[in-house]
Structure 1
Amino acid sequence: MQKSKEDFLAQINAVSKNTLMETLDIEIVDFGDDYLIARMPVTNKVHQPDGILHGGATAALAESVGSFASHIFIDTDKFFVRGLEITANHLKSVKSGFVYAKATFLHKGRTTQLLDIKITDEADTLISICRLSTISLPKAN
């Protein structure tokens, strides 16, 4: 029996318990054949001292959704994923609401992956553009 989309989302979000993703309230909300979407509430927990979304929290959201995307598209019985490099260009500020991170693959190789991650607000305004490279390494036997 195939799992429903809702069951799969619940399963992958359960993995985030007691992690940075739970601390920042990051939740995976949608996925498809070539993308994964997460959201994070913009509250004082992720603000800079002047009351706007901290770029580090944005980068944590981007790395979380990108690494998760790499993770769910590989054979996790044989491989594990690690981030290699992340870049983030912040274009606009956000004070409240939710931000959404959509990770799509630019390259999905056997060993390395390159993801484009766009961060948008609730009005679908582009907030940040991020790139994440990951590596899939074999698990020890």
Structure 2
Amino acid sequence: MYIQPNLEKRVEYFLDLPQLHMGDSLNIAFTSFKIDEIKATMPVDKNTVQPFGFLHGGASVVLAETLASVGAWLNIDDEDKTAVGIEINANHMRAVKKDNTVQGIARPVHRGRQTQVWKTNIYTMNEKLVCTSRCTLAVVEM
């Protein structure tokens, strides 16, 4: 049976975390927290482009796994557990030039006690699909 955790309490805890993480390095900014949907934006800038000035596929994967991990963690009703990625794939459909912004939207496919699967789509700000990703996460002790 799925037990919905206290979303507001979990989001407040997450936003108050003192340590920096990879998402901070890429300027990922969370814009929406829901039990079944997490959103964030990421600039296409010097930190996220490949040498030819386009969004690096690895940066898209970082955004996708960050959203999936946070989304999965928000769905765990145990303060001593977290979610870590164990597999991720990504298909890149569109190039995005430097000086733009992309938005990621992650939604759960499966929310189990030991594993979760999340799908993330990344879009341009004009809602054109850039990347689609699926991430499997393990629920582990912290």
**TM-score normalised by structure 2 residue count:** 0.85
CA root-mean-square deviation:
2.2
Alpha carbons of 1:14 and 1:100: their partners in 2 closer, same or farther (altered >3 Å)? farther
2:48 alignment partner, one of 43, 46, 49: 46
Alpha-carbon offset, residue 82 of structure 1 = 1.1
Contact in 2 for aligned 1:13/1:27 (Cα 8 Å)? no
2:57 corresponds to: 55
Is residue 2:119 matched to residue 1:116?
yes
Alpha carbons of 1:8 and 1:112: their partners in 2 closer, same or farther (altered >3 Å)? closer
Q: Percent identity at matched positions?
A: 30
Alpha-carbon offset, residue 16 of structure 1 = 7.2
Superposed, 1:1-141 pairs within 5 Å as 12-15=14-17, 17-95=19-97, 96-139=99-142
Alpha-carbon offset, residue 35 of structure 1 = 0.5
Alpha-carbon offset, residue 79 of structure 1 = 1.4
Which segments of 5 or more consecutive residues in structure 2 lack a partner in the other structure? 1-7
Structure 2 counterpart SS, 1:45: coil
Alpha-carbon offset, residue 45 of structure 1 = 1.8
Alpha carbons of 1:10 and 1:135: their partners in 2 closer, same or farther (altered >3 Å)? same
Equivalent residue letter for 1:123: N
What is the rounded CA distance, in whole Å, between the counterparts of 1:32 and 1:77 in structure 2? 18
Structure 2 counterpart SS, 1:107: strand
Which segments of 5 or more consecutive residues in structure 1 lack a partner in the other structure? none
Equivalenced residue count is 135
